[in-house]
A = this chain, B = another copy of it.
Amino acid sequence: MTEEAQDRPYSKALNQLRDAGLRPTRQRLALAKLLFDRGDRHVTAEILHEEAVASGAYVSLATVYNTLHQFTDVGLLREVVVDSGCAYFDTNITDHYHFFYEEDSRLEDVPSEMVTIHNLPQPPAGNDISRVDVVIRVRSSNGA
């Protein structure tokens, strides 16, 4: 990491992209900044696109989709499946689980240390576990 990494506005995102082997284009930098500068986030393509447009970055929705998948492919993001019909991307790529607030379709991280899973069954011979997803679905107590 170079010395100016800490003080240039886009340098953090820039280094992330360089390290991942992705060419740091204007659009990728803008999206990386929105994604990674504010701590852990859970975004959909649509949300991120709105934010990008609102921030003055002219990125098309198609590019947002492509970029989210590229970031996921290189390990900068993780896709979380909680809803058939809407893909969520999580900037927290460490091992962890999720609360899913069904009423407002919102995700929240649950550190993996907070849940203890024992006796996880082995998959049939010839298979490996690639990931264990735990989603704790939550609704407000007093009716919808």
Q: Which of A's residues lie within 8 Å of B, judged by CB?
A: 79, 81-88, 99, 101-102, 110, 114-121, 123, 126-142
Contact = CB atoms under 8 A, between A and B. Distances in A.
Nearest to A111: B121
Copies of this chain, whole number: 2
Contact of A134 (B82, B133, B138, B140): B133
B141 A126 contact: yes
Contacts of A133: 133-135, 137
A30 B133 CA distance: 34
B137 A130 contact: yes
A51 to B, nearest CB: 20
Nearest to A125: B141
Contacts of A102: 130
Contacts of A136: 120-121, 123, 129, 132
14 contacts: A84-B86, A84-B87, A99-B121, A114-B119, A115-B120, A115-B121, A117-B118, A123-B138, A126-B141, A127-B141, A130-B137, A131-B137, A132-B136, A135-B135
A96 B86 CA distance: 24
